[in-house]
Amino acid sequence: QVQLQESGPGLVEPSQTLSLICTVSGGSINNGNYYWNWIRQPAGKGLEWIGRMYTNGNTNYNPSLKSRVSISGDTSKNQFSLNLRSVSAADAAVYYCVREGAGAYWGQGILVTVSS
Amino acid sequence: QAVVTQEPSLTVSPGGTVTLTCGSSTGAVTSGHWPYWFQQKPGQAPRTLIYDTTNRHSWTPDRFAGSLLGGKAALTLSGAQPGDEADYYCLLFHGGIRMFGGGTKLTVL
């Protein structure tokens, strides 16, 4: 069964770039008809879809974040990553990576705080 | 941009049946929106219950069922248990992107 694990800094300074990695085990990111998603959840609030990357590398992004976000894959490491530029306090959240396709498998999430 | 709507809160009695719905501001929800349903308990990551309208994951109890009902996606819980108390989120595919509803807080009481 596929497993996903988020990693990256838990603290990012305002105006800097948030960079997270999702390491996938139990399946290859370039095999199969899967979408590799990033989703976030601010404390006490609902889920927000950030964007996703298809197996072939094509991407879709939330229009509200599109100007600041990029998602890409590294097949040699079986990882995909999230970069969110120019962060502010509003970007503080738990960030999840999720494999979508014949169901959805979630990572455990990583808490990111934005502060100087 | 479309808005995905869910009931903010619902209450069900133990052993009872409740239906949560997921609507779209653009019109009827269809199978082409590829609805998902997720359950989230406090302090935990969400867990997928239903995908592509009606499909259960291997870990999804049979008491949860997904459907289309009255122009919305629906999640019906039959025989509610105290452990089903949680937040429930739907996710729709809309014009090339995915969109979450605001979530339903389900109380079993």
**Sequential pLDDT tens for chain B (109 residues):** 889 999 999 999 999 999 999 999 999 999 999 999 999 999 999 999 999 999 999 999 999 999 999 999 999 999 999 999 999 999 999 888 999 999 999 999 9
Torsion sign across C-alpha atoms A83, B96, B47, B7? positive
pLDDT at residue A41, as a whole number = 98
- What's the confidence (pLDDT) of residue B103? 98
Does A106 sit within 8 Å of B96, measured CB to CB? Answer: no
The minimum CA-CA distance between A42 and chain B, rounded to whole Å, is 13
Please answer yes or no on whether B48 and A106 come within 8 Å at the CB atom.
yes
What is the per-residue pLDDT across A55-110, written as a single tens digit (0 to 9) for each? 888 999 999 999 999 999 999 999 999 999 999 999 999 999 999 998 999 999 99
pLDDT score of A32? 75
Give me the pLDDT at residue A55, please: 83
- Beta-carbon contacts of A67 under 8 Å, excluding residues fewer than 6 positions away, are none
pLDDT band at A33 (very low <50, low <70, confident <90, very high): confident
> Which residue among A46, A103, A107 sits closest to B100, beta carbon to beta carbon?
A46
Nearest to A54 by CA among A102, A109, A100: A100
Closest CB to B98 among A49, A96, A106: A49
CB of B57 closer than 8 Å to CB of B100: no
Contact list in A for residue B47 (CB cut-off 8 A) is 106
How confident is the model over A14-41, as a mean pLDDT? 94
Q: What was the pLDDT predicted at B65?
A: 98
Distance between CA A115 and CA B90 in Å, rounded? 31
